Amino acid sequence: MRALFKSEYVAELEECLYEARNQLRRYWAATLSHLPDFNIENKIWDNTQTKFDIDCQNILFECLSSISIPITIFSEESTSPIKFGDHGDFYLLIDPLDGTHNAVLGFPGYTSSVALYHDGNYVFGWVYDISRDLVYTAAYGEGAYLQSPIIVKRLKTRKSKSVEDMRISFHRPKGSRDINKIQTLIWSAAKIRVYSCSSLEICLIASGALDAFIDIGPPGHERSCDIAAAELILREAGGALFNDKGLPRFCPPPTTASLSDNETLIALSSEELIRIIL
């Protein structure tokens, strides 16, 4: 895999992240791929930080520590920002392991994601689908791409025209009112997929495998650290993101608040679909 984008600082960040990809892949082979053998006695998932979250964060931090640009990192697994170099206008918002529950249970749907914020915008997004060894990337104004060890592919969303033609993924709602809304879509859509990893589901829309990812159960579960990188990838591939009221949703700049600002989300392959979904 190689750096794809023009900006010098983005290209350097890409190089650091592709080394992180190598190390995360080794970690998957040595640890994560064996997790289904674990005996999990507690059937109730408490969503606490696990050793696997910390291990993935340490891999990312180690690889990012060599970068020459001064960066401040806000990570889901850290209580305070981490700084490399003198303070500058470069910020990273990262989720070292999105879909931890999937990883622990051996379901192949979990990612590491990194979003770079600079000069008032998210300018680069990187989402690594660990179990499939696929990297989704995008740079602001330069498009979105999928890379594997053997191919590089430009990403474009699929343009569905009706619910009956759509492949939809959900975060399962719990309130009866929201369940009824979702059931209408479930029985109308062409296909239903549920991965329980929002960054991956958004990237699958960017790649054309899905048309929508919907989380309408208030207050929503999608934090900026989960979706900032995937948001840029989807927008650069031709998609759009909204909240449950149909208003455009944009991730705020990286701050401590970005690690817990959960909100509803309707991610779509095109802006026009929001009218149909609503």
* pLDDT per position as a tens digit, 163-210: 999 999 998 888 788 888 888 888 999 999 999 999 999 999 999 999
Provide the pLDDT for residue 254. Answer: 95
Query: Which two three-digit tokens encode residue 13?
Result: 């960040």
Distances (CA, A) of 203 to 45, 58, 80, 115, 181: 25, 24, 28, 14, 24
Strand order in the sheet with 143-147: 82-84, 71-75, 90-98, 111-118, 121-129, 134-139, 143-147, 152-154
Residue 180, both tokens: 């009824």
Residues 125, 136: Cα–Cα separation, whole Å? 8
CATH architecture type of domain 163-277: 3-Layer(aba) Sandwich (3.40)
- Report how far residue 145's alpha carbon sits from residue 141's, in angstroms, rounded to the nearest whole number: 12
pTM listed for this prediction: 0.94
* Fold assignment, 8-154: Fructose-1,6-Bisphosphatase; Chain A, domain 1 (3.30.540)
How far is the C-alpha of 43 from the C-alpha of 210, rounded, in Å? 30
Ramachandran angles phi, psi of 172, nearest 5°: -65, 120
pLDDT value for 251: 95
Q: What is the pLDDT of residue 41?
A: 55
CA atoms within 13 A on the CB side of 180: 2
- Listed in sequence order, the residues at least 6 apart from 218 whose beta carbon sits closer than 8 Å to its beta carbon are 175, 178, 244, 264
Going from N- to C-terminal start, the domains of the chain cover 8-154, 163-277
Rounded Cα distance, 26 and 42, in Å? 28
Residue stretches of the chain with pLDDT short of 70: 1, 36-47, 87
Check for a shared fold between 8-154 and 163-277. no
